[in-house]
């Protein structure tokens, strides 16, 4: 029972033990607490450290990622940014213009933009057009107004320049001999006081704004016929306008953006930059039905004749069936303006570092251009080759589309050319007629890829050989007896007057009167009869029906051919062997067709038109068609002129060009 | 852990009130400060993460699990919008995304057989990835700027990577406009990588490397994750197939698995035209008629050999002199007098000899055997010879063998390990060792840049070693001359 009673003696003990236990517990707890506290502190510290580390890490990681993300993809070529000229806020340009017998120069703000002191060159009036807002040179021309017609070209040019542009004129050597009144009055209307009285060997400089103020003019009169006026130096200031004033406000389209870029850079392209009614730069000609040449690349071979290129591309892009995507313009040299023209039309242009000189340079440019064309269009079997000084007929692609299969199928063909060397106004008649000829005319032609890649490219004349590429292509080693197909009426027109092998006289004599087809959609006839064997059948048929002309008459005279239309006539000339062209050359000369070398022949046969009659010339006995000659007819023989004369003829042309 | 520690610090605070106030308060303050700091850091972390995400918006494609489904449909929507954009401009693109093509390949039979069936779930275009890659054939569109205007109106940001046109990079010094190589269209958190393919001489497609110009936005997308663009690549022209996958109409390569296989070793090396031009400055090219004619013959022989081996499916590469010609002057060396190819012995097929014979190239000699030092030589047009060397792979090197006919002597030519890359050579897409310099140096020594007209295959190479003599009883087998 007592057991039930709490034992007081025990109690304290019990109490003590509880206390001790509690104390112990408390002590333990304190230790725990301490432990916990330290733990907490440690943990907090760790958290802080971890946090800081995390921040640093993420930051570094982010930074690294930034750096690295694109590292592998960086262009290894360091793009050295060309330091841009600070925006020129200057409102005034200093212009210096110098005119003298042997030297002209123009400096704008201390930069020489024209300097010509070459001998025997650059005679006449030099014109420079500056942008009135930026002061950039937009056009540079020289008009040799000592020679005839150049003043007309100058008037044409000045009329094309937009109002507000700054014009700078200076004369080198002589600029008045053929400066007619029209030109003088145009100069007068620009504000020149001296122009109407400019005379023999005067020196003259003039700076003015088209349709606005005159900034300066200086003149030095020539004291005597045999001497020149004293050199003059004009120093003046030109006030610039704002960019907005110098630009047109065309609607904002992709086309007009190209136009704007072009028009702010160059001058002298006429209505393409007209503010009111600009001429279109996109032509959208009718597509061709069943166009076989839509995927054929077109290589335009160009130099630094941007105005020519402009005219050429306009006609090319207006031709039916053209595919602008296949056109590539190859520019020989790093000229800006031709590239501007190419970009204006939204075409692709490629510049070529010039290699070698003269003919070899042209020839290397051709090679590079052809190689690049087949590389850019690896699937193409053909390439159309054009030059910058050609007008392209509206049915150029239609002509090719109808005939290109022959080039693919007939191994005996060398090319298809749009140019008939003998197709003059008075010797070509039928737009639907095609010929086979042994010569390669060029001037707009189609080249087979296999011919280029397997034969021509590996053997192409190397840069040190000063050969004409076309002459080389005409050599028997290359041509190997193959022929080209040409139309009777050319599908291209050679308008270039300035060129490596070209001058005004030469152009007038041999190219100006060339016939050029302007009829669209001409359906070619008898394309199949152009194949090798079929053509022989065709020729025999033609000779069979041809009327033999009266060989006692003079073939040079008009009366040689009767006044009929649509008939076929044949004449026989003497041609001792395959290479005997003595009589032919004389005949060509008097017929006023190409006579500088032999063109357009097929096995000793020439085909052309006289008085709207088909006119065949057969060389006897070299031609296999000699058998068609009636035995009564004696082939005509024409004596070449005395040797000296012939030899002098061409140099005389060159000499006439120099004063 | 954290709440417990919070209690701990509160307990500490209570203790601090009881005794040693100063010290305790200090401790308390320290603790409070620490917890405050940790709280601040926590907040900061949160904010930073949020900021980091928004900054990279779309660039770092969030991998947060929770938003997975949203992400999935975003990808699909972006692809759908892109396909709409492309088709409204009539631009034919095809899918080359390796991830999606990999998925598609598993179900290819089913996809082919039911070309327009609706799909129950978004299986392919919703798959997790950063980009969707499409290919575009350059010649099939006109580079209209209108496309990009429309793209912008649809909300796409886009990036265009242009560079020079390698097709103009030949020996002639031409410079054209730069051509577009890659486009990237970005919308929300997904991006479309459009790779532009160009046709090149040799009947193949080429895509360029992706290189950023200095002014470009390096963070536009994570460029390193792109599947195309680290190197340029060469591909066969693929046959395409119109399919409906995930309710979207797309074109894919007809055989996705072979495309993926092709992709894995598509790396392309451009010839070193600049160095070749410098070489030709130093040693002008041989323009003699003999040289011209040899090159024509060697080129057609190489074309014929490539055709024959490709038809058999045997992988080969330009070796020895032909490889040197490619590497040094981007052309056939006119005085080399033969065409040399390499083939790994594992790719050897018994049909090789009959196939060449059928192609009009009779066997001229056969040295060695498949197990050791095999070398075949075929007679091409006139005196141009085609040598085919078989290469044996070892642990740390690769070698091929040579045999001297009259003595039965064996030689071994050592090369460091190499892999194969595509290149273009004389209008042909062919393999060359990627590590070309090591390969050429092994063969021709450090002076490979100097032309040598006299060359003895037994002593001139710098990697040749005597390898004993064939046992006389084997001669009939290992030395066959026709």
Indicate if A303 and A218 belong to the same structural domain: no
pLDDT band of residue B74 (cuts 50, 70, 90) is confident
pLDDT of residue B213: 86
Of A52-61, A327-336, B436-445, the poorest mean pLDDT is in A52-61
Q: Pick the catalytic residue: A202, A332, A389, A421?
A: A389
Q: How many domains, chain A? A: 3
Beta-carbon count within 10 A of B103 CB: 16
Indicate if A135 and A158 belong to the same structural domain: yes
At A569, phi and psi to the nearest 5? -120, 155
Higher-pLDDT residue of B70 and B231 is B231
In the predicted model, what is the mean pLDDT of chain B? 86
pLDDT of residue B117: 61
In the numeric block, which tokens belong to residue A627? 């058998």
Indicate if A508 and A547 belong to the same structural domain: no
> Is B200 in contact with A378 (Cβ distance < 8 A)?
yes
pLDDT of residue A491: 96
pLDDT band of residue A81 (cuts 50, 70, 90) is very low
ipTM over 0.90 threshold: no
Indicate if A176 and A216 belong to the same structural domain: yes
Q: Is B427 on the interface with A (CB under 8 A)?
A: yes
Residues in chain B within 8 Å Cβ distance of A258: none
> Is B211 in contact with A41 (Cβ distance < 8 A)?
no
Instruction: Indicate if the pLDDT at residue A553 is higher than 50.
Output: yes
Q: What is the C-alpha to C-alpha distance for residues B324 and A163, in angstroms, rounded to an integer? A: 62
Instruction: Indicate if the pLDDT at residue A647 is higher than 60.
Output: no
In whole angstroms, how far apart are CA A118 and each of A121, A202, A331?
Answer: 6, 19, 25
Q: pLDDT, tens digit, for every residue of A89-130?
A: 568 999 999 999 999 999 999 899 999 998 888 899 999 999
Of the partner residues A43, A325, A368, the one whose CB lies closest to the CB of residue B5: A43
Residue A497 located in a structural domain: yes
Domain boundary among A527, A554, A579: A527
> Please, which residues bridge with residue B420 across strands?
B433
Higher-pLDDT residue of A5 and B452 is B452
> Is B48 in contact with A55 (Cβ distance < 8 A)?
yes
Instruction: Indicate if the pLDDT at residue A374 is higher than 60.
Output: yes
Q: Is B30 on the interface with A (CB under 8 A)?
A: yes
Active site residue A389: yes
Which residues, 6 or more positions from A57, have their beta carbon under 8 angstroms from its beta carbon? none
In the predicted model, what is the mean pLDDT of chain A? 87
Domain boundary among A502, A527, A552: A527
Which residues, 6 or more positions from A490, have their beta carbon under 8 angstroms from its beta carbon? A393, A418, A419, A420, A423, A428, A443, A514, A515, A516, A517
Indicate if A599 and A467 belong to the same structural domain: no
> Please, which residues bridge with residue B175 across strands?
A351
Determine whether B194 is exposed, middle or buried from the number of CB atoms within 10 Å of its CB (0-12, 13-18, 19+). Answer: buried
Which residues, 6 or more positions from B463, have their beta carbon under 8 angstroms from its beta carbon? B413, B414, B415, B442, B443
Indicate if A601 and A515 belong to the same structural domain: no
pLDDT of residue B12: 41
> Is B48 in contact with A68 (Cβ distance < 8 A)?
no
Of A339-348, B3-12, B22-31, the poorest mean pLDDT is in B3-12
Q: Is A282 on the interface with B (CB under 8 A)?
A: no
Residue among A144, A168, A181 nearest A95 (CA): A168
Instruction: Indicate if the pLDDT at residue A659 is higher than 70.
Output: no
Q: pLDDT, tens digit, for every residue of A411-463?
A: 999 999 999 999 999 999 999 999 999 999 989 999 999 999 999 999 999 88
Indicate if A521 and A548 belong to the same structural domain: no
Question: What's the gap in Å between the CA of A257 and the closest CA on chain B?
Answer: 12
Residue A316 located in a structural domain: yes
Residue pairs spanning A and B at CB distance below 8 A = 155
Contact present, B62 and B189 (Cβ < 8 Å): yes
In the numeric block, which tokens belong to residue A576? 């001792």
Indicate if A312 and A382 belong to the same structural domain: yes
Residue from A75, A77, A79, A342 to probe the interface with B (highest B Cβ count within 10 Å)? A75
What is the distance between the terminal CA atoms of chain A, rounded to a whole angstrom? 158
Which residue range forms the structural domain that includes residue A444? 298-527
Q: What is the C-alpha to C-alpha distance for residues B187 and A6, in angstroms, rounded to an integer? A: 86
Q: Which CATH architecture has domain B72-266?
A: 2-Layer Sandwich (3.30)
Put simply, the chain A residues between 209 and 268 with a CB less than 8 A from any chain B CB are 254
Higher-pLDDT residue of B459 and B163 is B163
Mean pLDDT computed over B46-60: 55
Sign of the Cα torsion A478, B306, B418, B446 reads negative
Q: Is B177 on the interface with A (CB under 8 A)?
A: yes
Of A6-10, A291-295, B199-203, the poorest mean pLDDT is in A6-10
Residue A482 located in a structural domain: yes
Question: What's the gap in Å between the CA of B70 and the closest CA on chain A?
Answer: 25
* DSSP β-ladder status, B131-137 and B190-200: parallel
Q: What is the C-alpha to C-alpha distance for residues A451 and A638, in angstroms, rounded to an integer? A: 39
Residue A204 located in a structural domain: yes
Instruction: Indicate if the pLDDT at residue A606 is higher than 90.
Output: yes
Q: Is B90 on the interface with A (CB under 8 A)?
A: no
Q: Pick the catalytic residue: A116, A295, A430, A470?
A: A470
Indicate if A346 and A487 belong to the same structural domain: yes
Q: Is B202 on the interface with A (CB under 8 A)?
A: yes
CATH 3.30.460 placement within chain B: 72-266
CATH number of the domain where residue A499 is located? 3.90.550.10
Q: Is B408 on the interface with A (CB under 8 A)?
A: no
Helices within A591-640 (DSSP H only): none
Residues in chain B within 8 Å Cβ distance of A72: 223-224, 230
Task: Enter the DSSP assignment of B25.
Answer: H
Residues in chain B within 8 Å Cβ distance of A374: 201
Q: What is the C-alpha to C-alpha distance for residues A422 and A599, in angstroms, rounded to an integer? A: 7
Active site residue A470: yes
Residues in chain A within 8 Å Cβ distance of B292: 458-459
Share above pLDDT 90 across residues of chain A, in percent, rounded to a whole number: 68
Q: Is A477 on the interface with B (CB under 8 A)?
A: no
Chain Cα centroid distance, residue B11: 65
Indicate if A340 and A464 belong to the same structural domain: yes
Mean pLDDT computed over A134-153: 90
Residue in chain A nearest B53 by alpha carbon = A62
Mean pLDDT computed over A217-234: 93
Higher-pLDDT residue of A263 and A15 is A263
Indicate if A505 and A619 belong to the same structural domain: no
Q: pLDDT, tens digit, for every residue of B327-368?
A: 999 999 998 889 999 999 999 999 999 999 999 999 999 999
Sign of the Cα torsion A555, A558, A560, A561 reads positive
> Is A375 in contact with B170 (Cβ distance < 8 A)?
yes
Put simply, the chain B residues between 211 and 240 with a CB less than 8 A from any chain A CB are 211-216, 218-219, 222-224, 229-230
Q: Is A51 on the interface with B (CB under 8 A)?
A: yes
Residue A73 located in a structural domain: no
Put simply, the chain A residues between 363 and 382 with a CB less than 8 A from any chain B CB are 364, 367-368, 371-372, 374-379
In the numeric block, which tokens belong to residue B269? 């090396």
> Is A325 in contact with B142 (Cβ distance < 8 A)?
yes
Of A174-183, A604-613, A621-630, B473-482, the poorest mean pLDDT is in B473-482
Indicate if A178 and A195 belong to the same structural domain: yes
pLDDT of residue A441: 92
Q: pLDDT, tens digit, for every residue of A456-483?
A: 999 999 888 888 999 999 999 999 999 9
Residue A56 located in a structural domain: no
Beta-carbon count within 10 A of A328 CB: 21
Mean pLDDT computed over A372-394: 95
Of the partner residues B142, B174, B292, the one whose CB lies closest to the CB of residue A372: B174
Chain Cα centroid distance, residue A368: 15
pLDDT band of residue A508 (cuts 50, 70, 90) is confident
Residue A36 located in a structural domain: no
Question: To which H or E segment does residue B178 belong?
Answer: none
Which residues, 6 or more positions from B96, have their beta carbon under 8 angstroms from its beta carbon? B133, B134, B135, B195, B228, B253, B259, B263
* DSSP β-ladder status, A382-387 and A413-417: unpaired
At A216, phi and psi to the nearest 5? 165, 155
Of A37-41, B66-70, B376-380, the poorest mean pLDDT is in B66-70
């Amino acid at each position: 029972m007592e057991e039930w009673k709490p034992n007081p003696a025990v109690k304290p003990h019990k109490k003590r033990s509880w206390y001790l236990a509690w104390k112990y517990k408390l002590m333990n707890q304190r230790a725990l607490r301490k432990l916990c506290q330290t733990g907490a502190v440690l943990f907090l510290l760790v958290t802080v450290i971890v946090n800081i580390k995390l921040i640093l890490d993420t930051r570094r990681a982010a930074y690294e990622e930034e750096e690295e993300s694109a590292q592998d993809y960086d262009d290894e070529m360091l793009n050295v940014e060309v330091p841009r000229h600070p925006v020129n806020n200057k409102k005034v340009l200093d212009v210096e213009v110098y005119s003298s017998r042997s030297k002209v120069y123009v400096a704008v703000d201390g930069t020489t933009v024209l300097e010509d002191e070459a001998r025997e060159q650059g005679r006449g009036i030099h014109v420079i057009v500056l942008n009135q807002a930026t002061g950039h040179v937009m056009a540079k021309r020289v008009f040799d107004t000592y020679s005839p017609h150049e003043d007309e070209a100058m008037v044409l040019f000045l009329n094309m320049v937009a109002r507000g542009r700054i014009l700078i004129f200076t004369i080198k050597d002589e600029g008045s001999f053929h400066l007619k009144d029209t030109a003088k009055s145009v100069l007068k209307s620009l504000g020149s006081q001296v122009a109407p009285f400019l005379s023999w060997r005067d020196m003259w400089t003039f700076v003015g704004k088209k349709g606005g103020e005159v900034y300066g003019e200086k003149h030095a009169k020539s004291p005597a016929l045999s001497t020149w006026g004293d050199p003059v130096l004009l120093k003046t200031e030109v006030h610039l306008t704002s960019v907005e004033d110098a630009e047109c406000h065309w609607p904002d389209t992709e086309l007009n953006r190209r136009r704007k870029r072009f028009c702010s850079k160059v001058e002298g392209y006429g209505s393409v930059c007209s503010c009111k009614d600009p001429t279109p730069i996109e032509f959208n000609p009718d597509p061709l039905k069943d166009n076989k040449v839509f995927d054929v690349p077109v290589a335009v071979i160009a130099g630094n004749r941007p105005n020519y290129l402009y005219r050429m591309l306009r006609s090319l892009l207006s031709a039916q069936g053209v595919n602008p995507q296949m056109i590539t313009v190859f520019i020989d040299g790093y000229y800006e303006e031709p590239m501007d023209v190419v970009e204006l039309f939204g075409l692709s242009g490629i510049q070529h570092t010039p290699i070698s000189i003269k003919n070899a340079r042209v020839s290397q440019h051709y090679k590079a251009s052809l190689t690049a064309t087949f590389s850019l269009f690896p699937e193409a079997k053909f390439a159309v080759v054009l030059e910058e000084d050609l007008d392209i007929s509206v049915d150029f692609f239609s002509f090719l589309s109808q005939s290109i299969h022959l080039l693919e199928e007939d191994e005996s063909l060398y090319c298809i050319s749009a140019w008939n060397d003998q197709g003059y106004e008075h010797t070509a008649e039928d737009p639907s007629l095609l010929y086979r000829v042994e010569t390669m005319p060029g001037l707009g032609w189609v080249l087979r890829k296999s011919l280029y890649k397997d034969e021509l490219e590996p053997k192409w004349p190397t840069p040190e050989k000063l050969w004409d590429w076309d002459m080389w292509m005409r050599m028997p080693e290359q041509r190997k007896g193959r022929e080209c197909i040409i139309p009777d009426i050319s599908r291209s027109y050679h308008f270039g007057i300035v060129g490596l092998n070209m001058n005004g006289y030469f152009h007038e004599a041999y190219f100006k009167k060339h016939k050029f087809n302007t009829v669209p959609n001409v359906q070619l006839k008898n394309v199949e009869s152009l194949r090798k064997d079929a053509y022989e059948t065709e020729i025999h048929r033609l000779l069979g029906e041809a009327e033999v002309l009266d060989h006692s008459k003079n073939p040079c005279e008009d009366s040689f051919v009767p006044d009929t239309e649509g008939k076929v006539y044949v004449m026989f000339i003497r041609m001792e062997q395959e290479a005997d062209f003595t009589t032919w050359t004389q005949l060509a000369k008097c017929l006023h067709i190409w006579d500088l070398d032999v063109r357009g022949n097929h096995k000793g046969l020439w085909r052309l038109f006289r008085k709207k009659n088909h006119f065949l010339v057969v060389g006897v006995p070299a031609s296999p068609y000699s058998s068609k000659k009636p035995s009564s007819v004696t082939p005509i023989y024409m004596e070449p002129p005395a040797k000296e004369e012939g030899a002098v003829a061409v140099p005389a042309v060159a000499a006439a060009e120099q004063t | 852990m954290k709440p417990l520690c919070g209690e701990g610090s509160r307990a500490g605070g209570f203790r601090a009130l009881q005794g040693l106030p100063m010290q305790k308060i200090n401790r308390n303050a320290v603790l409070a400060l620490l917890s405050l700091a940790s709280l601040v850091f926590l907040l900061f972390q949160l904010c930073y993460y949020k900021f980091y995400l928004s900054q990279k918006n779309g660039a770092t494609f969030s991998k947060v699990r929770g938003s997975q489904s949203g992400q999935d449909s975003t990808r699909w929507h972006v692809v759908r919008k892109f396909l709409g954009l492309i088709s409204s401009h009539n631009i034919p693109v095809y899918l080359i995304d390796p991830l999606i093509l990999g998925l598609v390949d598993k179900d290819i039979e089913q996809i082919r057989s039911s070309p327009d069936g609706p799909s129950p779930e978004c299986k392919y275009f919703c798959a997790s990835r950063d980009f969707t890659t499409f290919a575009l054939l350059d010649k099939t569109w006109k580079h209209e700027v209108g496309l990009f205007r429309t793209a912008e109106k649809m909300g796409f940001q886009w990036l265009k990577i242009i560079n020079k046109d390698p097709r103009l990079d030949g020996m002639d010094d031409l410079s054209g406009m730069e051509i577009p190589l890659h486009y990237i269209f970005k919308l929300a958190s997904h991006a479309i990588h459009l790779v532009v393919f160009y046709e090149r001489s040799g009947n193949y497609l080429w895509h360029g490397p992706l290189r950023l110009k200095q002014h470009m936005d390096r963070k536009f997308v994570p460029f390193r994750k792109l599947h195309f663009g680290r190197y340029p690549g060469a591909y066969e022209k693929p046959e395409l197939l119109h399919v409906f996958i995930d309710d979207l109409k797309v074109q894919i390569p007809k055989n996705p698995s072979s495309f993926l296989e092709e992709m894995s070793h598509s790396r392309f090396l451009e010839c070193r035209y600049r160095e070749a031009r410098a070489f030709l400055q130093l040693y002008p090219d041989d323009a003699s008629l003999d040289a011209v004619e040899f090159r024509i013959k060697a080129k057609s022989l190489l074309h014929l050999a490539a055709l024959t081996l490709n038809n058999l499916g045997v992988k080969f590469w330009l070796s020895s002199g032909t490889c040197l010609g490619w590497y040094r002057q981007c052309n056939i060396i006119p005085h080399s007098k033969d065409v040399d190819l390499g083939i790994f012995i594992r790719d050897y097929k018994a049909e090789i000899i009959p196939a060449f014979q059928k192609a009009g190239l009779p066997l001229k000699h056969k040295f060695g055997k498949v197990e050791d030092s095999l070398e075949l030589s075929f007679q091409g047009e006139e005196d141009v010879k085609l040598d085919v060397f078989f290469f044996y792979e070892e642990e740390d090197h690769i070698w091929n063998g040579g045999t001297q006919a009259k003595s039965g002597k064996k030689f071994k030519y050592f090369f460091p390990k190499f892999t194969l890359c595509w290149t273009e050579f004389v209008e042909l897409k062919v393999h060359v060792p990627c590590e070309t310099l090591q390969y050429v140096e092994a063969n021709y020594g450090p002076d490979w840049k100097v032309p040598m007209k006299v060359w003895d295959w037994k002593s001139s190479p710098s990697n040749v070693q005597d390898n004993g003599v064939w046992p006389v009883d084997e001669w009939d087998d290992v030395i066959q001359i026709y």
